[in-house]
């Protein structure tokens, strides 16, 4: 008898939890948005190209403005995949200093952001030897793996490819 009651109680608790989770998932609310953002940052959900663009502008303009990305070019240095890896180091340093509140990029965020700048400013990974890029990526396994994904299979990058950031060299070269 007691055992049966206990089972009933657990069932009720389980159902309540499922109900709350469902309600949270179905009703659009700020918490839901935050949860989704977290799931995307962790790579469980995909960023849409538009979301990736917003993420790139938001996260890459905390320490300098967007000119840094927009004026960056193939003559300036290694491709964005390497730049994003370097920026993770600057974020580490900034966090250690504790001078500013800046969040480290997750792997999914770094991959989404790399695709955005590749698409709207330029992707010159092909001008470099893969070996050299991998060396520069050091122990960044997520980005190193992403390097091997052809552009046509990179959803965000291929969706944004025709677009240009106003002021980018690519934009000027195309005479637009
Ligand atoms: C924690 C602060 C910080 C964040 C966040 C940050 N950067 Fe930077 N960035 C720097 C610093 C510091 C430099 C180097 C000094 C300089 O050039 O002003 C730099 C330089 C650059 C440069 C110029 C590099 C060169 O060789 O000329 C590019 C491009 C750039 N950042 C892109 C990005 C991108 C893309 C992101 C987003 C993923 C980003 N930054 C986020 C701090 C940051």
Measured CA to CA, the distance from residue 42 to residue 57 in angstroms comes to 19
State pLDDT tens for residues 97-155: 987 889 999 999 999 999 999 999 999 999 999 999 999 999 999 999 999 999 999 99
Assign residue 65 a region: left if phi > 0, alpha if psi is -120 to 50, beta otherwise?
Answer: beta
- Determine the pLDDT at residue 73: 95
Paired tokens of 68: 């840094």
Residue 46 clears pLDDT 90, i.e. is over it: yes
Paired tokens of 98: 């504790």
Residue 176 clears pLDDT 50, i.e. is over it: no
CA of 30 to the centre of ligand 1 (A): 30
Residue 175 clears pLDDT 50, i.e. is over it: no
Picking from 85, 92, 61, the residue whose alpha carbon sits closest to that of residue 142 is 85
Mutate to test the pocket of ligand 1, among 47, 57, 66, 68 (most ligand atoms within 8 A of CB): 68
Picking from 30, 40, 33, the residue whose alpha carbon sits closest to that of residue 105 is 40
CA of 64 to the centre of ligand 1 (A): 7
Please tell me the pTM assigned to this model: 0.83
CA of 87 to the centre of ligand 1 (A): 6
State pLDDT tens for residues 53-97: 999 999 999 999 999 999 999 999 999 999 999 999 999 999 999
The ligand 1 site (C-beta within 6 Å) comprises 59-60, 62-64, 68-69, 72, 76-77, 83-84, 87, 90-91, 94, 102, 113, 117
| Residue-range domain boundaries for the chain | 1-45, 47-173
CA of 60 to the centre of ligand 1 (A): 7
Measured CA to CA, the distance from residue 176 to residue 172 in angstroms comes to 6
For ligand 1, atom 4: residue with the closest CA: 63
């Amino acid at each position: 008898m007691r055992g049966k009651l206990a089972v009933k109680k657990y069932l009720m608790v389980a159902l309540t939890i499922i109900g709350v989770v469902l309600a949270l998932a179905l009703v659009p609310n700020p918490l839901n948005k935050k949860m989704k953002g977290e799931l995307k940052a962790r790579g469980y959900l995909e960023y849409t190209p538009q979301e990736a663009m917003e993420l790139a502008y938001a996260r890459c303009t905390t320490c300098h403005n967007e000119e840094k990305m927009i004026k960056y070019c193939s003559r300036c240095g290694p491709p964005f995949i390497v730049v994003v890896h370097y920026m993770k180091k600057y974020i580490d340093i900034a966090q250690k200093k504790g001078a500013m509140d800046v969040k480290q990029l997750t792997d999914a965020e770094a991959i989404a952001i790399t695709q955005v700048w590749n698409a709207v400013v330029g992707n010159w990974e092909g001008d470099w030897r893969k070996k050299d890029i991998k060396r520069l990526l050091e122990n960044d396994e997520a980005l190193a793996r992403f390097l091997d994904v052809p552009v046509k299979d990179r959803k965000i990058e291929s969706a944004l490819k025709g677009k240009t950031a106003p002021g980018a060299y690519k934009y000027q070269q195309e005479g637009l």
